[in-house]
Structure 1
Amino acid sequence: MHRCDCPTGSGQHHQSLRSRRLHYPRRSCERRRRRSHAPASQRAAITGMPMPIDLRHINGPIDIIGDIHGCAEELQELLVKLGHAQQTSTGSIELIQHPEGRHVCLLGDLTDHGPDNLSSIKLAKVLQEDFGAIIVMGNHDERLAAWLRGLDTRISHGLHTTVACLSSLTTEERERYADWLESLPPHCVLDSGSLIVAHAGLKEEFHGIDSDESRACALYGKKTGETDRHGIPTSVDWAADYRGKALVVHGHVVTREPRRLNNVISIDNGCVFGGKLTAYRYPEDTFVSVTAKANHGNGVLPDPEPTNMQEAA
């Protein structure tokens, strides 16, 4: 049974989340290790080995979900709407195998700014280990892993909300979550190379390439060195020059609505800042969203038609 362990956020919000407890199968790690037929993504998550970038054999259908940032309740609601979970007679949420065999893909940035950071990590981990979800690493996930390792990490850009949730974890628990986060791939190649998923997007020259430069591009993108009228850093609009055949779906850059340009789709619609949590359904080429419960991060959404790509700080 899933319960929110994070003390931050309003009491009303947490009472709401507790009333919608999430159930998922309880299996021992030893039992999962014996399942040699499990997909590579599941085996890697279990053993702690890095998960593969090349998932060309997975051809969909896939529901690709944007930045979560600790919005566990909105994620649960979206999973129900997409058919990956169902509401029980007691009002709780139960994860299920999708009746149409659809996959879940999360675009990283599982935590920070939001009210339910530990719950978001737990839910994502179960989606991957028990339901074969594809999860790529975001820049916030990389920084959280460093903090969990005890490395010198600047507590900024919403990390303080996650530290408040996770500071009571034991050393063993911290190591386990750090192992898992560090195992997430920086990007994945899907559907025989026709689909690329990466947190901040990925230039064509880096598709399927595992290098420091490719990783930096996938997790962080590139800043312009400028800020918008709200003082938020803007990113280089690499999609404007993209001419690749593969469809690239990413988050990281906040827009009020899904953005499509040159076979690149951006779906971070600022849920943590009072916007929406959005999923892109592949190959149907449609979007499904749920509205945020609140502006958890006390941030601002970009203008309806931004001239620059705005990055979530």
Structure 2
Amino acid sequence: MFINIDKGVDIVGDIHACFDEWLEMLDRLGYQKNEQGLYVHPKGRKMVSPGDVMSRGPKSIETMVFFLKHRHLMYMIDSNHGWKIARWLDGRKVQLKHGDEKVEEEFIEFEREKWKRKNRTVKKRIERHVD
């Protein structure tokens, strides 16, 4: 894949799921949220992260979802953490350490919260139909 960088490029690596700091950095670099909720640079610069977007920090899922939403505006190069997490998500046996275990904890909490919300929704539906 080729990225057109004629308007400039920003390279930021080792985000490590520090999502709030990531957004602050984008702001400092001049990226702005558009009507669709996507961050773009007013001068057309592109963002490239040469690896380690997730693991170690508190918000791996949110950081990865951010990059997925921005896949045509910002670019991420996969790395050792990403490869290991991808294998883990695929059900392969890997040792989650060096911060990767935080991703597992985050997914466990995500699933727990999702089911709590779903359970509340089901309870409310039943409540409305039972006299």
The verdict on a shared fold, with TM-score over 0.5 as the criterion, is yes
The one-character-per-residue Cα deviations of 1:213-262 (angstroms, maximum 9, x if unpaired) are: xxxxxxxxxxxxxxxxxxxxxxxxxxxxxxxxxxxxxxxxxxxxxxxxxx
Deviation at 1:58?
3.5
Given residue 164 of structure 1, which amino acid in structure 2 is its aligned partner? Answer: E
Mapped partners of 1:114, 1:159: distance in 2:
9
Instruction: State yes or no: 1:84 paired with 2:42.
Output: no
Q: Tell me the residue number matched to 2:71.
A: 128
Q: Are 1:76 and 1:85, in contact at CA under 8 Å, matched by a contact in 2?
A: no
1:164 to 98, 105, 110: 105
Q: Are 1:84 and 1:95, in contact at CA under 8 Å, matched by a contact in 2?
A: no
Instruction: State yes or no: 1:119 paired with 2:62.
Output: yes
The one-character-per-residue Cα deviations of 1:103-162 (angstroms, maximum 9, x if unpaired) are: 111122111111111111111211224xx2121111100101000000011011111111
Pairing 1:207-226 to 2, within 5 Å after superposition: none
Q: Tell me the residue number matched to 1:69.
A: 16
Q: Tell me the residue number matched to 2:86.
A: 145
Q: Which runs of 5+ in 2 are unaligned?
A: 112-131
Q: Tell me the residue number matched to 2:51.
A: 108
Pairing 1:22-101 to 2, within 5 Å after superposition: 52=1, 55=2, 57-86=4-33, 94-101=37-44
Mapped partners of 2:91, 2:42: distance in 1:
42
Mapped partners of 1:162, 1:138: distance in 2:
15
Q: Are 1:65 and 1:106, in contact at CA under 8 Å, matched by a contact in 2?
A: yes
Mapped partners of 1:59, 1:156: distance in 2:
39
Q: 1:70 to 1:57 in 2, by over 3 A?
A: closer
Q: 1:110 to 1:74 in 2, by over 3 A?
A: same
The one-character-per-residue Cα deviations of 1:10-46 (angstroms, maximum 9, x if unpaired) are: xxxxxxxxxxxxxxxxxxxxxxxxxxxxxxxxxxxxx
Mapped partners of 1:154, 1:58: distance in 2:
38
Deviation at 1:97?
2.6
Q: Are 1:62 and 1:103, in contact at CA under 8 Å, matched by a contact in 2?
A: yes
Mapped partners of 2:47, 2:104: distance in 1:
27
Pairing 1:196-207 to 2, within 5 Å after superposition: none
Mapped partners of 1:96, 1:56: distance in 2:
17
Deviation at 1:70?
0.9
Q: 1:137 to 1:60 in 2, by over 3 A?
A: farther
* Higher relative contact order, chain-length normalized (CA < 8 Å, sep 6+): 2
Structure number with the higher helix fraction is 2
Deviation at 1:166?
1.7
Matched position secondary structure for 2:10:
strand
Root-mean-square deviation over aligned CA pairs: 1.8
Deviation at 1:78?
0.6
TM-score w.r.t. length of structure 2? 0.73
Pairing 1:233-272 to 2, within 5 Å after superposition: none
TM-score w.r.t. length of structure 1? 0.32
Q: Are 2:11 and 2:47, in contact at CA under 8 Å, matched by a contact in 1?
A: yes
Matched position secondary structure for 1:128:
coil
